[in-house]
Amino acid sequence: MTLRWFGTGVDPVTLDKIRQVPGIDGVITTLYNVPAGVKWDKDAVLAIKKEIEDAGLSIAGIESVNIHDSIKIGAEDRDFYIGNYIETLKVLGEAGINLVCYNFMPVFDWTRTDLAKVRPDGATVFSYNQKLIDEINPEKMFDVITKNADGFHLPGWEPQRMAGIKELFKMYSAIDEQILFANLEYFLKAIMPVCEQYQIKMAIHPDDPAWSVFGLPRIMTCKENLLRLIRMVDNPLNGVTLCSGSLGTNPDNDIADIIHSLKGRIHFAHVRNIKHNAPGDFEESAHLSADGSLDMYSIMKALFDIDFEGPLRPDHGRNIWGEVCMPGYGLYDRAIGLSYLTGLLEAIKKNKGVKC
């Protein structure tokens, strides 16, 4: 059981607080201010590792090492950026870190239309409404997200990247799903030797929401495409981050079935709930099954049944009790979520006669 932590000076949640969450084993972290495409500094990795270990925790994995757009587009300079990625993996491998989460979404990472939708109990959550997206000029999307973010910079919405957004859209204009898949395959084949050398598991995060946004291609959206990913580079180190909330944006995705079909290739799990309001319209909810549309018991049971052994974390939380935090990443609701998931797992294990 882990929680995501963005680092001192970025994340208002401190490691000493995280350590007090019952059942916590480690954190998922990153070098937050390093732009995509830049090689990670060895001393900075060792420093954050030491800081986390000094706090009585460990690094369970990195989320994320972001992929430069040239790699996703297949631009002429992609080998340069793949080279930097390989150097970063070496630095991580030498530091004893062997799980890397990444995504392959064009231009925008996760997308929401509201970062603080008020729910009936007064909690605020991320929400998404396709109708609103259809009315927004994509070049304005960055402003929509940042205006909403209480002065925090959000993962995936780094200002330096979004400054060139017009240019980015132009670069992606010739990219369709097939080309994006081919560019992903090229990238994975290039990095597999270094992953083998250090036994680093690569765990691609599904696209969120799990459909095309602003006409940009998206490929990590459903069981069929996830299976295509693991087969096209058939190395056990090429795996998936099972994010129930991202895949769950599409009600056609049967999360427990997807988990079973990816047995052995899920290296990391994000478990959270969402509530479907209408097609293309959803909001995040508490982790509790009854508060949303996903059956959290069946998701946790499926992970147990396939012998999933990687790190698992609750995902975004609601903002509750007036906490001042990065939207989606307060301590309070994520700690509640973690406790709930730990409880489900204890019951599943004991029901199967497993001691815990």
329 carries an active-site annotation:
yes
Q: Which is nearer to Mn ion, 39 or 153 (CB)?
A: 153
Alpha-carbon gap, residue 85 to 29, rounded angstroms = 17
Smallest separation (angstroms) from Mn ion to the CB of 219? 16
Cα 351–chain centre separation: 30
Give residues 223-262 in contact with Mn ion (rule: CB under 5 A).
243
By beta-carbon proximity to Mn ion, the closer residue of 74 and 293 is: 293
Closest to Mn ion by CB, 82 or 213? 213
Q: Does residue 78 belong to the site contacting Mn ion (CB under 5 A)? A: no
Q: To the nearest whole angstrom, how small is the minimum distance from the Cβ of residue 6 to Mn ion?
A: 14
Residues 244, 238: Cα–Cα separation, whole Å = 19
Q: Is 85 annotated in the active site?
A: no
Check 109, 208, 315, 333 and give the catalytic one.
315
Residue of 316, 325, 333, 340 with catalytic role:
316
Q: What is the CA radius of gyration of the chain?
A: 19
In whole angstroms, the minimum distance from the beta carbon of 134 to Mn ion comes to 24
Q: In terms of CB distance, is 26 or 248 closer to Mn ion?
A: 248
Asked about 270 being catalytic, the answer comes back as yes
Q: Which are the contacts of 209, defined by CB distance < 8 A and separation ≥ 6? A: 111, 128, 246, 249, 250, 282
Q: In the annotation, is 172 catalytic?
A: no
Contacts of 143 (CB under 8 A, 6+ apart): none
DSSP state of 289: G
Residue 295 burial (C-beta neighbours within 10 Å; 0-12, 13-18, 19+)? middle
Which residues neighbour 167 within 8 Å (Cβ) at sequence distance 6 or greater?
none
Active site residue 205: yes
- Closer residue to Mn ion in complex, CB, 112/270: 270
**Taking the CA of residue 287 as centre, how many other CA atoms within 13 Å lie in the half-sphere pointing to its CB?**
27
Closest approach of Mn ion to the CB of residue 245, in Å: 6
| Cβ atoms of 155 and 115 closer than 8 Å | no
Binding mask 313-352 for Mn ion (x = CB under 5 A): --x-------------------------------------
Structural tokens at position 272: 């959270």
**β-strands 201-204, 99-102: how paired?**
parallel
Binding to Mn ion, residues 263-302 (CB under 5 A): 270
Q: Min. distance of Cβ 139 from Mn ion in angstroms?
A: 25
Q: Distance between alpha carbon 253 and the CA centroid of its chain, in Å?
A: 17
In this chain, which stretch among 114-122, 273-281, 308-316, 331-339 interacts with Mn ion, using CB under 5 A? 308-316
What the block records as the tokens of 182 is 């081919």
Per annotation, catalytic residue among 205, 207, 208, 333: 205
Where on the chain is the footprint of Mn ion (CB under 5 A)? Answer: 243, 270, 315
Among all residues, which ones are annotated catalytic?
Answer: 205, 243, 270, 315-316, 329
